[in-house]
Structure 1
């Protein structure tokens, strides 16, 4: 019996991952006249910024001023993230879980201050009884620790929970903790090759939460 639902944050609840692609794409086109392919950019999601920069340098044909480039992409991101909105269906899932007395947790590789800022902005904060972040548990996905700590905080077994993720590292972390996991890819992570048979839906607006319970 499912007693708890655990959500990822970046990319799943708000699509910051695609916004980072937009930042790199915009600056690369302005600075070097190149167009980054989203399917190639997606391969480095959840790793670090180094593969992104190497991808750009490969297209440009020479090393770039990485600190300057990162400064410009970060500026683009910060300017545009202010108007970001939750992904479709997220609030419906939270409301259904709360109405049906499911415990709700959050497990993310982001930091607590980053997550809390948006949860409070969208009035989502009070839905969560447990929030586990990178700076709390000390490890990032695909390490399953953030999910294991979420399970512990929720007081449920892995078999009693269901997780929702958007990235391959997140999927590995959740399934590594033994949790049945549904992938909801975003505009960027739809290009990632997940293991064959991975349960997935196009958005939370396309399938009601009760279908998974």
Structure 2
């Protein structure tokens, strides 16, 4: 039986790739007079927050506080967008299972965006960001902090599932001993899931059906 559902954040709960690529294009052109390519952003995507910014803009400035300030300033102009039914699903089942987030994004960004989206952060037992651990996906030890909290709720790994959109999500969660379900809002990683025979769904309505069918959810 599943007692806890943990989510990746970017591109799983919210449409970060779609939103933030536009932010990065605008920032690079307006402040640094250059055009960052989609390929460059793809190569940095998924890195811990500070590494991500330095990877993209480190050749212009090594001052991470400055890079953070301009990135946040520009990102406020491009509000993130939740995937359809994402937070409705969490609200619907909040009294039946524990929910959490494990992401490589920074706490300041995630909490600000959830506030902008008017999502109650109390829906989550823990929102674990890059600020909470020295290791990051695909390292399975990234789950140690949140699992320590779940163990206090008398849960074991067989009662926990992690839901994410990328190979790093699968590799870290499966190696740690959690169940895993991919969510493919687009086709970027569908071939990876299909080739590896990794279960995945396309949206949150399919996710709900899968959990009920496979795990006798609630």
Q: TM-score, normalised by structure 1?
A: 0.72
SS at match of 1:194: helix
Q: Per the alignment, do residues 127 and 35 of structure 1 end up closer, same or farther by CA in structure 2, a change over 3 Å counting?
A: closer
Cα offset, 1:80, TM superposition: 3.5
Pairs within 5 Å for 1:1-213: 1-24=1-24, 36=37, 42=42, 44-47=44-47, 49=52, 66-67=60-61, 74=71, 77-81=74-78, 83-99=79-95, 101-121=96-116, 122-155=118-151, 156-187=155-186, 190-191=188-189, 194-195=192-193, 196-205=196-205, 207-212=206-211, 213=215
Cα offset, 1:90, TM superposition: 0.7
Give per-residue Cα distances to partners, 1:41-72, cap 9 Å, x unaligned: 5455314559x86xxxxxxxxxxx655xx97x
CA contact (8 A) 1:108 1:146 kept: no
Give per-residue Cα distances to partners, 1:64-105, cap 9 Å, x unaligned: x655xx97x947851443x22211121232023214x21111
The alignment yields a C-alpha RMSD, in angstroms, of: 3.5
SS at match of 2:200: coil
CA distance in 2, matches of 1:21, 1:193: 23
Structure 1: gaps (5+ residues): 54-64
- State the aligned residue count: 197
CA contact (8 A) 1:134 1:146 kept: no
CA contact (8 A) 1:20 1:77 kept: no
CA distance in 2, matches of 1:211, 1:11: 19
Structure 2: gaps (5+ residues): none
Q: TM-score, normalised by structure 2?
A: 0.70
CA contact (8 A) 2:27 2:74 kept: no
